[in-house]
Structure 1
C-alpha cells in the first residue's frame, strides 16, 4: 500500500488545529492509502502544542515536531517536508483557507502521473487590494525568472518522493519553495480553487514576512535586477556625461551671459542619490541571500518529537 504524508506547519492555531486534524483524517481514511499527518509547530505561544499532544495520544497517524524557537514559515515548512517518508508528500495550510478536501484532487493528479501538483487561486475572498498586489507580483516574478513559475500558487500541493529527493540534495537553508519545485523541472499539474476568508484566528503573516517572501522569490530565481542595475548605471553615466558636456559648451559659447544655476545641480544630486540608494538596497538583498547560504545553518532546531 502506498503511503501519503500530509505536512502542516502551525503557529498559534489553537482555534483551527482540531478541525484541521479531523478533516485531514476524514479525507485520508476515505482513500486507499496508508498515511501520516506530520504537524510542525513553530514554537506557538498559545495552546496549539498541548492540543496536538492530546490529538497525537489518540491518533497514531498524527506526528508532531515542536521547534525550539520560531524559525519562520519558510524554514519550518521545508524542514517538515524533508522529514516525511511517504511516497508522496502533501503540504496543506493550517488556517483552513486551503481546504484539506483538495488532497483528493492532488492525489488524483499524482495517480495520473504528475510528480508535482500545486493549488492555485484564480479568485479569492481576501482583500481585493492584497489579491491584486499578489497577482501583480507573480506576473513580475514570472516575467523575470529564469524558470517559469506557477502564478497565484498558494504553496499547498503534492510532491512526489522523487521531487523531495532532489530538494533534499540541494541543501538550501532558506529556500523559496514555490520557485524551487519549478526549478526541479518535472511537469506541474494545478488545482484551481476559490480561496475562502480565514474564519478563525489571526494570520501570522505580516508586512515584513510577505516582503521577505517576495524578495526571496526575486533574488533566488532571477538575475534580471542585477543586470538592470548594471545597464542603468552605464546609461546614466552616459547621460551624465552628455549633460556635463552640454553645460561646458554653453559656458564656453556664452561665457558672460550663461550662468550656471543651482537648480540643475540640486536636481541631479537628489535624482542620482535616490537611484544609488535604490540600487544599493537591491544589491543588499542579494548579498543577504548569499550570506544566508554560506552560513549553512540548519533549517530548524527541534525541541521535541511526538509519535515518531
Structure 2
C-alpha cells in the first residue's frame, strides 16, 4: 500500500545518529500521518552505518534502505532518495537532528491546508564564524545573481507533495540544486520558522570545501544570467588596463614604484575575476555534458525492504522514481 508520508534521510557515517533519528521520526509520523515509510539512503559510509541500517530494516518493514556504490555528494544522493520515495507527501531531512523531527507535524498541517511545498526557515544558525561567512557569501551570490529568488535560511528541510516530486524528477538535472528547483517550479509554497538545534552526535561532513563545491554547483545551475557578466567586466577591465598602462608610464617618468605596484595589483585582481567566470562557464559546460550523457544521479549497490515492483529501478530511470 502506498504510504501517505515518506521521510527520506540521507546518511554518511551516521552510526551515532541513525537509530535515534529513525525512532524519533517514527514517533512523530505515527502521530501525524495515516501511514508512513522511512527511506534511508547511504552515501557509501565507511563506519558502521550500513550495519545499523540493515538491523533497522529487519526490525521494521516500514524502514527501507538504499546503498550507493560510491559517494555521490550532498546534492545528488539526497535528491535521488526523494525521487525514490512513494508517499503522497515526501519529507527530506538530515540524520543528525539539525533538522528537528518535531517539525513533521507542522509540515503535514501546512500540506493538508493546501501547500504543495513546505520549507523550514532557520531563525538561528550555530556554526563556526568561518563556515558561517562562507555560507552567507554563497547565499548572497545566489540572491544577487540567481535566476530565481532564494529563501533566506531555507536549507531544503521540508515537505514536498507527490506532484512536486514527480515534476522535478522529470527535469533530469545532473547536479540538482533541489531547494532552488522547489522555488523555480512555482508550486504553492509555505514557510515554517524553526530554531536549528545542535548536531546530536558525530561531526559535520560539510566543511569549507564541501560548501564551496555546493555553492559553485548551485551558482552554475541556477544563476545563468551570471554568465553574461564577463561581457560587462571585459569592458571594465579594458578601461582599467588602459588606466594601469598610463599609471605605469607615469610611474616610470616620476620614478614612482608604488604607483606601478598598484597598477599591477589591479591587473591581477581583474585576472582573478576573469578566472572565476571562466570556472563558472566550465561548470555550465560540464552540466550540459552530463545531461547529454543521461548520467544517473546515483548507481545503487543494494536496496532493502522495497516491494517487489520497486526492488530495482530500471537502468534508464535511475534519475527518476521507477
TM over 0.5, shorter chain: yes
Provide Cα deviations, 1:15-71, integer angstroms capped at 9, x if missing partner: 111111111111111124221110001111111111111111110100000011111
Whether 1:126 and 2:127 are equivalent positions in the alignment is: yes
Supply the distance in 2 between the matched residues of 1:240 and 1:286 (Cα, whole angstroms).
23
Residues 238/126 of structure 1: CA separation in 2 closer, same or farther (3 Å cut): closer
8 Å CA contact 2:248–2:263 kept in 1: the answer is: no
Q: Tell me, what secondary structure is at the counterpart of 1:30?
A: helix
Aligned pair count reads 302
1:128-167 equivalence runs, <5 A = 130-131=131-132, 133-167=134-168
8 Å CA contact 1:6–1:91 kept in 2: the answer is: yes
Question: Per-residue deviation at 1:259?
Answer: 5.8
Whether 1:283 and 2:281 are equivalent positions in the alignment is: no
Aligned to 1:236: 237
Supply the distance in 1 between the matched residues of 2:261 and 2:247 (Cα, whole angstroms).
17
Whether 1:81 and 2:82 are equivalent positions in the alignment is: yes
TM-score, scaled to structure 1: 0.89
Aligned to 1:253: none
Unaligned runs of 5+ in 1: 251-256
8 Å CA contact 1:4–1:36 kept in 2: the answer is: yes
Q: Please point out which of 302, 305, 308 is paired with 1:304.
A: 302
Q: Tell me, what secondary structure is at the counterpart of 2:115?
A: coil
Provide Cα deviations, 1:101-148, integer angstroms capped at 9, x if missing partner: 211111111111111111111113333554455345424422322211
Question: Per-residue deviation at 1:263?
Answer: 5.4
1:6-45 equivalence runs, <5 A = 6-45=7-46
Q: Tell me, what secondary structure is at the counterpart of 1:142?
A: helix
Residues 195/243 of structure 1: CA separation in 2 closer, same or farther (3 Å cut): closer
Aligned to 2:93: 92
8 Å CA contact 2:3–2:35 kept in 1: the answer is: yes
Question: Per-residue deviation at 1:236?
Answer: 2.6
Give RMSD over aligned pairs: 2.5
TM-score, scaled to structure 2: 0.85
Q: Tell me, what secondary structure is at the counterpart of 1:189?
A: strand
Aligned to 1:211: 212
Provide Cα deviations, 1:240-271, integer angstroms capped at 9, x if missing partner: 346657988x8xxxxxx956766555543442
Supply the distance in 2 between the matched residues of 1:132 and 1:299 (Cα, whole angstroms).
29
Supply the distance in 2 between the matched residues of 1:247 and 1:130 (Cα, whole angstroms).
40
Moved more, 209-218 or 34-43: 209-218
Question: Per-residue deviation at 1:92?
Answer: 1.1
Q: Which has the larger radius of gyration?
A: 1
Aligned to 1:68: 69
Question: Per-residue deviation at 1:183?
Answer: 0.9
1:103-118 equivalence runs, <5 A = 103-118=104-119
Provide Cα deviations, 1:149-176, integer angstroms capped at 9, x if missing partner: 1111122111111111211111011111
Aligned to 2:222: 221
Supply the distance in 2 between the matched residues of 1:99 and 1:245 (Cα, whole angstroms).
60
Q: Tell me, what secondary structure is at the counterpart of 1:196?
A: coil
Q: Tell me, what secondary structure is at the counterpart of 2:110?
A: helix
Unaligned runs of 5+ in 2: 307-322
